[in-house]
Amino acid sequence: MTHEKVMKTFEPEQKDDSVTITITITKGGIYLKMKIVLEDFQSYKQERMRVMSEIVILSGSPSESSRSDLVLKYIGSLLKKEGFIVTHISIRDVPHEALFYGKFNDPAIENVASLIQGAKGVVVGSPVYKAAYSGVLKALLDLLPQDVLQGTPVLPLMTGGSPSHLLAIEYTLKPLLATLKGQNLKGVYLLDSQIDKRQIDNPIVQNEILDRLKKQLYYFVETVNRQKNAVL
């Protein structure tokens, strides 16, 4: 008995909202071609991301080369090392029109809300702008449900140019997160002089500051894990 070779080829093709996979199986002179179309692929991806996200990091700087965003990405890398699935949302990725015209029902806004609602913990970062959080971060939070952070541990983080606005985290960001029913942890305030934009992997320059940040972060991790285990 001779074994003829079976040839299979897979050709995935991704379009905006669907994926078509063409499978061709060839044996002898005969070939079978199958086409599988996965419709609504973006929704599938978003749903999968929502189910999988344990920690959401919300980055509130509109700046293209943002210090706070760099620190938040570093925090994300530490959380991944702790075994968490992390989703990083930058305000820059939210459609401007939705923010400017207050489009509560925009799919991107609904997706952010659902990611945050599904998270076990949330890190919210913002630069200090005129002694408070950034306006664009507020524009986004205004569009989310009133209790979007209900019972969720939240680690607030702010970066500022001056130590004189250290209390912006206490008087502006924390009350805002508490209004959304978040469980605020102590949080971290970093000065521009403590962040080196050239060091992408770890932008925190001084060891003392890095230790302070890690202490807060591991307390956040402990709180999230405690709540996760209490639910299981």
Ligand X SMILES: Cc1cc2nc3c(=O)[nH]c(=O)nc-3n(C[C@H](O)[C@H](O)[C@H](O)COP(=O)(O)O)c2cc1C
Whichever of 56 and 224 has its CB closer to ligand X, that residue is: 56
Other beta carbons less than 10 A from residue 8's beta carbon: 10
Angle at 74 between CA 67 and CA 196, to 5 degrees: 40
Minimal distance, residue 50 CB to ligand X, in Å? 26
Whichever of 59 and 223 has its CB closer to ligand X, that residue is: 59
The dihedral formed by the CA atoms of 106, 107, 108 and 113, expressed in degrees to the nearest 10: 90
Alpha-carbon distance of 31 to 7, in angstroms, equals 9
Minimal distance, residue 69 CB to ligand X, in Å? 6
3-state SS class at 156? strand
Whichever of 153 and 203 has its CB closer to ligand X, that residue is: 203
Minimal distance, residue 81 CB to ligand X, in Å? 23
3-state SS class at 35? strand
Which residues contact ligand X (rule: CB under 6 A)? 61, 63, 66-69, 127-131, 159-162, 165, 192
Whichever of 91 and 224 has its CB closer to ligand X, that residue is: 91
Minimal distance, residue 163 CB to ligand X, in Å? 8
Shortest Cβ contact with ligand X: which residue? 127
Whichever of 84 and 129 has its CB closer to ligand X, that residue is: 129
Whichever of 62 and 145 has its CB closer to ligand X, that residue is: 62
Minimal distance, residue 68 CB to ligand X, in Å? 3
3-state SS class at 224? helix
Question: 37: number of CA atoms within 13 Å, CB side?
Answer: 6
Angle at 111 between CA 143 and CA 214, to 5 degrees: 90
What ranges in 142-206 are assigned the alpha helix state H?
A: 168, 174-179
Alpha-carbon distance of 204 to 102, in angstroms, equals 35
Do 133 and 165 meet the contact criterion of CB atoms below 8 Å apart? no
Whichever of 66 and 216 has its CB closer to ligand X, that residue is: 66
Minimal distance, residue 134 CB to ligand X, in Å? 7
Alpha-carbon distance of 62 to 92, in angstroms, equals 6
Minimal distance, residue 35 CB to ligand X, in Å? 47
